[in-house]
Amino acid sequence: MAKTVETIQPVERIRGRVRVPGSKSVTHRALMLAALARGESEILDALRAEDTELTARALEHLGVTVAWDDRRVLVHPPASRWEPSPEAIHLGNSGTSMRLLLGIAAAGKGDFVFDGTPRLRERPVGPVIDALRRLGVRAAYLGREGYPPVQLQSDGLTGGSVWVDARESSQFVSALVMAASAARSDVEVCWEGKAASLPYLHLTVEMMRRVGLRADWIGSNGIMVPGRQEVRGFRYRVEGDCSSASYFWAAAALTGGEVFTYPLTADALQGDCRFLAVLEAMGCTVVWEEEGVRVVGPERLRPVDLGMNDMPDMVPTLAVLAAFAPGTTRIRNVAHLRIKESDRIRAVAEELAKLAVPVDELPDGLVISGGGVKGAVVEAHDDHRIAMAFAVAGLKVPGISIAGAETVSKSFPKFWEVFRKLSHG
């Protein structure tokens, strides 16, 4: 895909309503849980974007039938888990697809190779592979140890207890927990310390519960999953994507405007909905209504000092807002951002520097001195979160363009259309 440039036009105040797409995180998991079910499942309001289509196509390689219809998708698993896949299953730069699908593939029988882009080959999978090996799966790295491409040879999961290093991603645990429901005996998955992006592990467990699968917490650092569980095909409605909504919340925050995003509920499962509390700390007013949430921006943003381990994807958005908040903002405890679609700590620091924002890059975060921003061409680094977050800055400062704007297709294909409509009234 050719690199495109999107030039942002400043506005005085953003005002409007935005229907956000379905949650990417929820759609991934719903597709995979449906693949483990017996019989056809219907997933409503599913996100159809680059990453979720990569997951769907990978499941098709395993013999699953996936049929999209507007915001609905029908998923019909094969008679036996799984059908042979003679070719490598390519997952682009979708780390979620790679990590979760390693577990799903291992839940059945077959010989599979999972690969992706050069950047995906730099994103670790070692912790989930180590655990799968202890559960009876044969696995081989076809390149660098601990990274894709990976070959799996599985006869199903045996069961037992495994420890996982989840400091870089809770997805390693989510992969095992979902797959463990099909193991031949019970599986206990434990980890030391705090898992990165822990709310998304809670999301996985709650989604399993909602479709009829058991996964029981053992204190705060373990989950017991009974083996040999079977769930019939189900109907699941995907909640709106809080990550996608965050860019419009930020637009209201930055311009002192007002945005209503829907469909969203205050009890949404996604960890990124907690970003609303960050916006309140910066001076915004947040009001939940029946269909969604309204964010009203302040006359002046306040700096914050926060650990963002639970919602690392919100760091680029927070960093952009911090550039306009007079004073010093500190963003801490997000070292795992370096293994996302880009090295997000470095990418955010580089692009803020282009906008003449004083910024210090730390091993696990950023220190940003806000108050003055100049226009420049921002490089998206082939990262959808960088592109969408920095687009917000262009609403306030003239001369900001996003190079590589097409990367939003990864999670929000219609982002630019929605963004222009909102900013142009």
220 marked as part of a ligand binding site: no
Tell the burial category of 409 from Cβ atoms under 10 Å away from its Cβ (0-12, 13-18, 19+). middle
Check the CA dihedral 45-47-52-58 and report its sign. positive
214 marked as part of a ligand binding site: no
165 marked as part of a ligand binding site: no
Radius of gyration of the chain (CA): 21
Measured in degrees and rounded to the nearest 5, phi and psi for residue 274 equal -70, -10
Exposure string of 379-402, with b = 16+ CB inside 10 Å and e = fewer, is bbbbbbbbbbbbbbbbbbbeebbb
25 marked as part of a ligand binding site: yes
354 marked as part of a ligand binding site: no
Q: d(Cα 393, Cα 303) in Å, to the nearest integer?
A: 16
Coil/strand/helix, residue 250:
helix
344 marked as part of a ligand binding site: yes
171 marked as part of a ligand binding site: yes
409 marked as part of a ligand binding site: no
**Can you give the length of the chain in residues?**
425
Q: Is residue 292 a contact partner of residue 240, using CB atoms and an 8 Å limit?
A: yes
Q: d(Cα 24, Cα 220) in Å, to the nearest integer?
A: 25
Please pick, among 310, 313, 343, 382, the residue that the annotation labels catalytic.
313
Q: Is residue 225 a contact partner of residue 234, using CB atoms and an 8 Å limit?
A: no
170 marked as part of a ligand binding site: yes
151 marked as part of a ligand binding site: no
Tell the burial category of 316 from Cβ atoms under 10 Å away from its Cβ (0-12, 13-18, 19+). buried
Among 314, 261, 316, CA closest to 289: 261
Partners of residue 237 on adjacent β-strands: 44
194 marked as part of a ligand binding site: no
Coil/strand/helix, residue 313:
helix
| Single-letter amino acid code for the residue at 371 | G
Q: d(Cα 218, Cα 196) in Å, to the nearest integer?
A: 18
Q: Is residue 50 a contact partner of residue 409, using CB atoms and an 8 Å limit?
A: yes
Instruction: Establish whether 313 is a catalytic residue.
Output: yes
Which token pair is 145?
A: 């140890």
3 marked as part of a ligand binding site: no
Q: d(Cα 121, Cα 158) in Å, to the nearest integer?
A: 28
Question: Which residues does the annotation place in the binding site?
Answer: 24-25, 29, 95, 123, 169-171, 197, 313, 340, 344, 385, 410
Question: Which residues does the annotation place in the binding site for 3-phosphoshikimate?
Answer: 24-25, 29, 169-171, 197, 313, 340
Question: Which residues does the annotation place in the binding site for phosphoenolpyruvate?
Answer: 24, 95, 123, 171, 344, 385, 410
Query: Which residue numbers are catalytic?
Result: 313
